[in-house]
């Protein structure tokens, strides 16, 4: 049995749903299908999830909802009309959104979660109806009835372990199960969503629960590339990589697969294949537990901006017991998680994601570190990017770090931070954001262009 997940662009229009149906028809083992909400049809289009966020904000602000609601309904109407589905399908979709809108608004985040989830829920209803019309017996699956239980964190819920046992019974279904991605329910029956892009996570949970032979993740690119094709011209296609490599690459910008989605598949050792709905015959990229070592120790290079550093120095820091714990406690009090902590003898930097910071938080952190930890110098600086070289086998390759730093030196950029060692499969460089692109290009040249491959 295979679990297939189709992303937003695969469900963006009637033509795309036809492709999805063909893909499912071609392989009888594709028995569980997870769907996203309709995504962008063209550059500059708006995803249904974003339309729903606008709708929910309007509803919460007491503003006019007719305009934003019409935009959402129009997307489904166009799809159901063009597929020739009977009117009852669209009537159910409309009724569902009206019910979500009339639900309790006293907790805005939960209200917004309920509205956002409507994107995938109705996408699943429409696809199930269409597959049935095409004579492919299928069934819309309600995640609550199926038992997808989540923790009580709005917008970033996590799966509860008992879900796996409950969802396993989907294996017994005769029909093709169409399961909406992105959301589930708490033990008390309240709807919660995963992070954005979270339908990948639903697919992985289902694949693990039914012990699928393969989790196919259909998107709009043929494979995972060794570097961002928007920056590097014609990067090579990665045919096979390990879960760990994918995790490291998605950490810094490879958005083709949600990083939280790896864990369920990894735990059950279910291979994941990234495939293209628009070119389903392309082999795609396989993500597996172990792979044979390739000649090139580097599998891919990712880069992402949006990082800041909290720099702290204090004379004799290395001898002060509990210094690190106290510093991290201050961050915990501000609900901030950290990314890396490169350290010297009398100083350390904590690398943070910008989106967790705000001017008032920064001020409180700096004041507390100065007064409570009696630091000599404390400051927070933004504008950093992380460039990450990823590859199993990198650790055993002599001279690899030297080649990487040489390549970066050729760009004239300064390396602000290096982190190697804690992870066996990656080498992380903290650089200034404005140097990110040229560094990525030069590293790609160093490790992937034939003229440079050593
Ligand atoms: N529709 C949701 C989003 O746009 C979830 C997903 O597509 O995976 O983030």
The per-residue pLDDT for range 99-115, each reduced to its tens digit, is 999 999 999 999 999 99
Atom of ligand 1 nearest to the CA of 119: 1
Ligand 1 close to Cβ of residue 309 (< 6 A):
no
Contact yes or no for 17/229 (Cβ under 8 A) = no
What average pLDDT does this structure show over 279-302? Answer: 91
Per-residue confidence (pLDDT) for residue 451, from 0 to 100:
62
- Percent of the chain past pLDDT 90, that is, above it, reads 90
Question: Is the pLDDT higher at 359 or at 454?
Answer: 359
Predicted local confidence at residue 43, as pLDDT? 94
Q: Is 413 in the pocket of ligand 1 (CB under 6 A)?
A: no
Pocket of ligand 1 contains residue 119 by CB under 6 Å: yes
Tell me the average pLDDT of the chain.
95
Q: What is the pLDDT of residues 54-68, one digit of tens each?
A: 999 999 999 999 999
Q: Are 316 and 265 in contact (CB under 8 A)?
A: no
| Segment 45-62 mean pLDDT | 97
Confidence of residue 381 (pLDDT cuts 50, 70, 90): very high
Instruction: Say what the pLDDT of residue 437 is.
Output: 96
Report the distance separating Cα 276 and Cα 295, nearest Å.
27
CATH code of domain 2-288: 3.40.1160.10
Q: Which of 118, 120, 217, 277 to mutate to test the pocket of ligand 1 (most atoms within 8 A of CB)?
A: 120
Mutational pocket test of ligand 1: of 155, 181, 277, the residue with most ligand atoms within 8 Å of the beta carbon: 181
197 lines ligand 1 (CB under 6 A): yes
pLDDT at res. 391 = 94
pLDDT for the residue numbered 217: 97
Looking at residue 254, what is its pLDDT?
87
| pLDDT attached to residue 370 | 97
Span 418-434, average pLDDT:
87
CA of 217 to the centre of ligand 1 (A): 13
Domain limits, CATH 3.40.1160.10, in the chain: 2-288
* Residue 36 Cβ < 6 Å to ligand 1: yes
197 CA closest ligand 1 atom index: 8
CA 444 – ligand 1 centroid, Å: 30
Q: What is the pLDDT of residue 419?
A: 87
Considering all CA atoms of the chain, what is the largest pairwise distance in Å, rounded to the nearest integer? 75
Pairwise CA distance, residues 137 & 403, whole Å: 56
Confidence band of 158 (pLDDT split at 50, 70, 90): very high
Quote the ligand 1 centre to 197 CA distance (angstroms).
Answer: 4
According to the model, what pLDDT value does residue 252 have? 86
How many residues does the structure list for the chain?
Answer: 454
Confidence of residue 441 (pLDDT cuts 50, 70, 90): very high
**Residue 219 beta carbon below 6 angstroms from any ligand 1 atom:** no
Q: What is the 3-state secondary structure (H, E, C) of the chain?
A: CEEEEECHHHHCCHHHHHHHHHHHHHCCCEEEEEECCCCCCCCCCCCHHHHHHHHHHHHHCCCCCHHHHHHHHHHHHHHHHHHCCCHHHHHHHHHHHHHHHCCCCCCHHHHHHHHHHHHHHHHHHHHHHHHHHCCCCEEECCHHHHCCEECCCCCCCCECCHHHHHHHHHHHCCCEEEEECCEEECCCCCEEECCCCCHHHHHHHHHHHCCCCEEEEEECCCCEECCCCCCCCCCCEECEEEHHHHHHHHHCCCCCCCHHHHHHHHHCCCCEEEEECCCCCCCCEEEECCCCCCCCCCCEEEEEEEEEEEEEECCCHHHCCCHHHHHHHHHHHCCCCCCECCECCCEEEEEEEHHHCCHHHHHHHHHHHHHHCCCCEEEEEEEEEEEEEECCCCCCCCCHHHHHHHHHHHCCCCCCEEEECCCCCEEEEEEEHHHHHHHHHHHHHHHHCCCCCC
The topology (CATH level 3) of 300-448 is VC0802-like (3.30.2130)
Q: Could you read off the pLDDT of 338-380 as tens digits, one per residue? A: 999 999 999 999 999 999 999 999 999 999 999 999 999 999 9
The pLDDT value recorded for residue 454 is: 52
Other CB atoms within 10 Å distance of the CB of residue 418: 16
Residue-wise pLDDT for 222-270, tens only, equals: 999 999 999 999 999 999 999 999 999 988 888 888 989 999 999 999 9
The residue whose CA is least distant from atom 8 of ligand 1 is: 197
Which residues are bridge partners to 266 per DSSP?
A: none
d(CA 346, CA 320) in angstroms, rounded, equals 10
Backbone angles phi, psi at 374, to 5 degrees: 50, 45
Supply angle C-alpha 264, 267, 269, rounded to 5: 105
Give the HSE-up count for residue 289: Cα atoms under 13 Å, Cβ half-sphere: 9
Residue 215: which of 249, 236, 246 has the closest Cα? Answer: 246
Ligand 1 binding pocket includes 391 (Cβ within 6 Å): no
The pLDDT value given to residue 445:
96
Predicted TM-score (pTM) of the model is 0.91
Q: Which atom of ligand 1 is nearest to the CA of 8?
A: 7
Task: Give the model's pLDDT for residue 292.
Answer: 78
Range list for CATH 3.30.2130.10 in the chain = 300-448
Distance CA 65, CA 394 (A): 54
């Amino acid at each position: 049995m295979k679990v297939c997940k189709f992303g937003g662009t695969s469900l963006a229009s009637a033509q795309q749903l036809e492709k999805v149906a063909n893909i499912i028809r071609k392989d009888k083992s594709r028995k569980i299908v997870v769907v996203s909400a309709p995504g962008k049809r063209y550059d500059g289009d708006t995803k249904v999830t974003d339309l729903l966020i606008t709708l929910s904000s309007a509803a919460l602000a007491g503003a006019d909802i007719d305009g934003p609601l019409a935009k959402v309904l129009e997307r489904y109407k166009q799809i159901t009309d063009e597929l020739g589905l009977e009117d009852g399908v669209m009537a159910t979709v409309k009724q569902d959104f009206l019910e979500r809108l009339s639900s309790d608004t006293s907790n805005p985040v939960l209200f917004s979660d309920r509205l956002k989830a409507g994107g995938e829920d109705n996408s699943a209803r429409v696809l199930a109806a269409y597959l049935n019309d095409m004579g492919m017996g299928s069934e819309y699956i309600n995640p609550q009835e199926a038992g997808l239980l989540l923790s009580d964190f709005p917008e970033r819920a996590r799966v509860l372990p008992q879900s796996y046992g409950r969802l396993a019974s989907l294996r017994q279904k005769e029909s093709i199960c169409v399961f909406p991605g992105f959301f589930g329910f708490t033990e008390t029956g309240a709807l919660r969503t995963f992070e954005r892009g979270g339908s990948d996570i639903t697919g992985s949970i289902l694949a693990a629960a039914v012990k699928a032979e393969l989790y196919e993740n259909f998107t709009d690119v043929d494979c995972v590339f060794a570097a961002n094709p928007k920056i590097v011209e014609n990067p090579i296609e990665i045919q096979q990589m390990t879960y760990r490599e994918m995790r490291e690459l998605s950490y810094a910008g490879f958005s083709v697969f949600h990083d939280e989605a790896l864990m369920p598949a990894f735990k059950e050792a279910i291979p994941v294949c990234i495939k293209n709905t628009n070119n389903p015959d392309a082999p795609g990229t396989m993500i597996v537990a172990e792979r044979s070592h390739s000649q090139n120790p580097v599998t891919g290079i990712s880069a992402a901006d949006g990082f800041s550093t909290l720099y702290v120095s204090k004379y004799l820091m290395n001898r002060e017991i509990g210094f690190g714990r106290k510093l991290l406690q201050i961050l915990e009090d501000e609900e901030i998680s950290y990314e890396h902590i490169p350290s010297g003898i009398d100083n350390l930097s904590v690398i943070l994601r910008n989106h967790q910071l705000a001017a008032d938080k920064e001020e409180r952190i700096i004041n507390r570190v100065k007064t409570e930890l009696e630091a000599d110098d404390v400051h927070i600086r933004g504008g950093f990017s992380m460039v990450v070289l990823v590859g199993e086998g990198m650790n055993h390759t002599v001279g690899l770090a030297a080649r990487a730093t040489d390549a970066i030196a050729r760009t004239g950029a300064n390396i602000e931070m290096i982190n190697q060692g804690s992870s066996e499969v990656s080498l992380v460089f903290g650089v200034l954001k404005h140097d990110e692109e040229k560094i990525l290009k030069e590293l790609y040249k160093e490790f992937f262009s034939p003229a440079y491959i050593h």
